[in-house]
Structure 1
Amino acid sequence: MDQTTTDGAVRPRFHGTARAMFPLVLKGLFLTVVTLGLYRFWYQTEVRRFLWNNTEVDGDLLEYTGRGVELFIGFLIALAVLIPAYGAIFLIATLAGPIAGLVVQFVATLGIVVLAQYALYRARRYRLTRTIWRGVRFQQTGSGWTYAWRSIAWALLTLLTLGLALPFMRASLERYKLSHTWYGDQQGAFSATGGQLFKRGILLWLVAVALIFGPIAIIVVYGTLDPDPTGPGFSAAHWIINLTIFGVAVLVPLYLAIEFRWWANGCSVGPATARCDLGLFAFLKVYLAYAGIALLFFIVAGLVAAVVGYAFYAAGLLGDGAEPPLAAIILAVMAYFIAALIFAALWQLFGVRPIWRKSFESVAIAGLGALTAAQSGEPPANAFGEGVADALDFGGF
């Protein structure tokens, strides 16, 4: 059952365990390999249905009514649009001169980025219209193109300010999305401000700037990553680079936790409002746990590969020449593909699922009793946006 706070707010519960999700992931992994990736649309749908249908809000579960065939058809439609567009861009860039070709490539890249943002907005609309709670469907209005150009303008400003405008970008985009989000006839709203997120994230920004631009400053001052030219510059450079990568990898989940808490506290739908108490290290713990499990799998897989490789070599199946036989290359490619899918499956079990659980269970929702929405008359959206996002590799849950 849901947890009710002392002031009557309801805290959602998530009932999906790793043990219950494992058969779904195992089936999806196997069929994705067998179908050479084609099953991923149905696999993605099954994972969403597991997450949605195991999330309980005030005694009732969410429902996800999307279908894999919808995503597949949306993907095919997107390819029918994108392939001719890519072909035309390539042809124009080839026939044009060097300068004109660069201009064409720049315009094409900008167009792809705009299209990706449009697709993300439309994909969110698709997921909302496939989400039902207590028999009432969520909806999303608004223009995907307006959202896309707004995103591009804010992204350019964020780049020019070295990330300082990011909180205000997030506030503007979330305000646009939430104001066009509906639960039946109840409209959403977003009250959090960019200034609030800026104050909470400025320390992380300062640390990130130090980690990223520190090595650059050392190079500018000393001409090398090692202040002592006679010292072990190679090892010093790698030490600084690794430290920077590790630091940024830690800062990202910390920032995501800060941003989610800020975002959830600013969300409302009709009379229902939310407040969030997600801890700063909640997502970092999930990432570290996944990294540990992935590292363990990597070690075990490496040992198995070494044993199998030695057995093949001892049996003379790898050949005695400098170039490995075709069979060995095919097996290596297949092993790489399967390993990548297994890492993705582990992420579903030990990354996506716990992040989903922590996100929902950290929120308390007030005013649910007054949220008496009528079913919206808007029809469910198609999956074209999902298809474009998938084709451009911008998909997500």
Structure 2
Amino acid sequence: MDIPAVSDSSWTESVRPKFHGSARAMFPVVLKGLFLTIITLGIYRFWYMTNVRRFLWNNTEVDGDFLEYTGRGVELFIGFLIAVAVLVPFYAMLFLAPLYMGAEAAAVAQGLYGFALLLLAQYALYRARRYRLTRTIWRGVRFQQSGSGWGYAWRSLLWLILTVLTLGLAYPWMRAGLERYKMTNTWYGDQQGAFSATGGQLFWRTLLVWLAALVVIGGPIAFVAGMEATGNIGAASPAHALILVSVIGFIVLVPVYWAVEFRWWANGCSVGPAAAACDLGNFAFFKVYLGYLGVALLFGLVVGAIGLGIGFALHSGGVLEGMAAQARPPVVFFVAFGAFYFLVGLVFAALWQVFGVRPIWRKSFESCEIRGLGALMAAQSVTPEANAFGEGIADAIDFGGF
């Protein structure tokens, strides 16, 4: 492809992406997905997930042009069905091993099963990323991912073993190594990605967070464990207060760590001549989680009030006394309870999409400036689009994120 000449200023000009998706605009997408997921007993969730992604992608503007998401719900559904068929032998071995083997042989078989499942999960995450990239288009050019899913899986597993052996000290270098493998196999058309951040940079930038976690989270847990070992925990002991301190510390420090790690990651990413510069604040994600917790708490109070009202009505009508007199509660009680639990869980998930995923997506993009974007010229990739098999495996074993 002939690349037209560009001015030097196109290499230094910065472009900051914008996100235009409001909570009000996202509510209909979420409510529709919630309703159809309920009445289809969960089957519609593949289309629901696709519609949420399309909302996020298609409302993200980069230099005057919007991202496009071309994935389809039926692709995720078929990928899930294929993944379930592949995983059936694994689950069968896990179930049958204790029945037809001795205790030691069954333990070995289950250990091998866990090892294989962990390896398969890493393979699935890499393939799922490839699927999402090949369904992402900007300015008519599709993203792509090369590399081997199994190669990534084995790298992940070896890095994980090293991280465990070093009591977590190797984690920053694991993140850097795996991200470098992913980004060097990322393409925008014929323009290759790169990753320049190092494990040492991540280590020093997150060291204070780790030390704070050691004091605020690890310290109280160790103290309470010591009190339990000596039998000194009583009603007047500070154990409960220390546990509360650990929980609050976890809620605060985890999103802070994610923000620092995201800034490190974004500043190391580039595609062709275009590179990112991120200024995300340390507490940006914490504010999002705090807002979501407030909304979730409000919803929980409403659900609790409704539950109390239903319970009072059943008690006033003598229904609860009649059920207590029976040897076994009626089946309709369990069905109603299960449906209510399912509904509440889906609503919490929907609230997370609107008040969690959406603002995190917005803050992540809008905190980055892209330099050299004017010099990024790419020809359309001729590599075929990836299938959704990796997404299906990750979903079937409940591993991986959005």
Shared fold (TM-score greater than 0.5)?
yes
In structure 1, runs of 5+ residues without a counterpart are: none
Partner of 1:295: 297
SS state of the match for residue 280, structure 1?
A: coil
Q: Which of 121, 124, 131 is the matching residue for 1:126?
A: 131
Query: Counterparts of 2:161 and 2:318 in 1: how far apart (Å)?
Result: 57
CA displacement at 1:85 relative to structure 2: 2.6
Query: Counterparts of 1:315 and 1:150 in 2: how far apart (Å)?
Result: 62
Residues 145, 282 of structure 1: CA spacing in aligned structure 2 closer, same or farther, 3 A cutoff? same
One-letter amino acid of the counterpart of residue 325, structure 1: P
CA displacement at 1:6 relative to structure 2: 12
SS state of the match for residue 36, structure 1?
A: coil
Partner of 2:401: 396
CA displacement at 1:101 relative to structure 2: 1.1
| 8 Å CA contact retained: 1:225, 1:233 | no
Partner of 1:224: 227
Q: Which of 365, 383, 388 is the matching residue for 1:383?
A: 388
Partner of 1:310: 312
Query: Counterparts of 2:224 and 2:21 in 1: how far apart (Å)?
Result: 50
Query: Counterparts of 1:73 and 1:6 in 2: how far apart (Å)?
Result: 43
Residues 89, 321 of structure 1: CA spacing in aligned structure 2 closer, same or farther, 3 A cutoff? closer
Question: Percent identity among equivalent residues?
Answer: 65
Q: Which of 229, 235, 238 is the matching residue for 1:236?
A: 238
- 1:174-323 to 2 correspondence within 5 Å? 174-215=179-220, 217-218=222-223, 223-225=226-228, 229=232, 232=234, 235-322=237-324
CA displacement at 1:7 relative to structure 2: 5.1
SS state of the match for residue 372, structure 1?
A: coil
Query: Counterparts of 1:6 and 1:109 in 2: how far apart (Å)?
Result: 48
| 8 Å CA contact retained: 2:256, 2:283 | yes
Please tell me the root mean square deviation across aligned C-alpha atoms, in Å: 2.1
CA displacement at 1:100 relative to structure 2: 1.3
| 8 Å CA contact retained: 1:178, 1:189 | yes
Residues 236, 278 of structure 1: CA spacing in aligned structure 2 closer, same or farther, 3 A cutoff? same
Q: Is 1:56 equivalent to 2:58 in the alignment?
A: no
Residues 60, 156 of structure 1: CA spacing in aligned structure 2 closer, same or farther, 3 A cutoff? same
Query: Counterparts of 1:6 and 1:269 in 2: how far apart (Å)?
Result: 13
After superposition, give the CA deviation of every residue in 1:48-79 in whole Å (9 maximum; x if it has no partner). 00000000001000000000000000000001
Structure 1 runs of 4+ off > 4 angstroms?
A: 4-7, 225-228
After superposition, give the CA deviation of every residue in 1:107-166 in whole Å (9 maximum; x if it has no partner). 110100110010000000000000000000000000111111111111122223232221
In structure 2, runs of 5+ residues without a counterpart are: 1-8
Query: Counterparts of 2:53 and 2:401 in 1: how far apart (Å)?
Result: 10
Query: Counterparts of 1:92 and 1:343 in 2: how far apart (Å)?
Result: 37
CA displacement at 1:334 relative to structure 2: 1.1
After superposition, give the CA deviation of every residue in 1:310-333 in whole Å (9 maximum; x if it has no partner). 112222333434354332322222
Query: Counterparts of 1:125 and 1:28 in 2: how far apart (Å)?
Result: 25
Query: Counterparts of 2:164 and 2:391 in 1: how far apart (Å)?
Result: 27
Query: Counterparts of 2:336 and 2:10 in 1: how far apart (Å)?
Result: 56
Residues 6, 74 of structure 1: CA spacing in aligned structure 2 closer, same or farther, 3 A cutoff? closer
Residues 22, 219 of structure 1: CA spacing in aligned structure 2 closer, same or farther, 3 A cutoff? closer
Query: Counterparts of 1:159 and 1:234 in 2: how far apart (Å)?
Result: 37
SS state of the match for residue 273, structure 1?
A: strand
Mean CA deviation greater in 325-334 or 71-80: 325-334
One-letter amino acid of the counterpart of residue 297, structure 1: F
Query: Counterparts of 1:292 and 1:142 in 2: how far apart (Å)?
Result: 42
| 8 Å CA contact retained: 1:41, 1:69 | yes
After superposition, give the CA deviation of every residue in 1:78-101 in whole Å (9 maximum; x if it has no partner). 011101232134334432211111
Residues 321, 65 of structure 1: CA spacing in aligned structure 2 closer, same or farther, 3 A cutoff? closer
- 1:336-347 to 2 correspondence within 5 Å? 336-347=341-352
Query: Counterparts of 1:83 and 1:227 in 2: how far apart (Å)?
Result: 47
TM-score normalized by the length of structure 1: 0.94
Query: Counterparts of 2:109 and 2:333 in 1: how far apart (Å)?
Result: 42
Query: Counterparts of 2:83 and 2:229 in 1: how far apart (Å)?
Result: 50
Q: Is 1:42 equivalent to 2:44 in the alignment?
A: no
| 8 Å CA contact retained: 1:319, 1:325 | no
One-letter amino acid of the counterpart of residue 224, structure 1: M
Mean CA deviation greater in 207-216 or 36-45: 207-216
CA displacement at 1:388 relative to structure 2: 0.2
Q: Which of 177, 196, 215 is the matching residue for 1:172?
A: 177
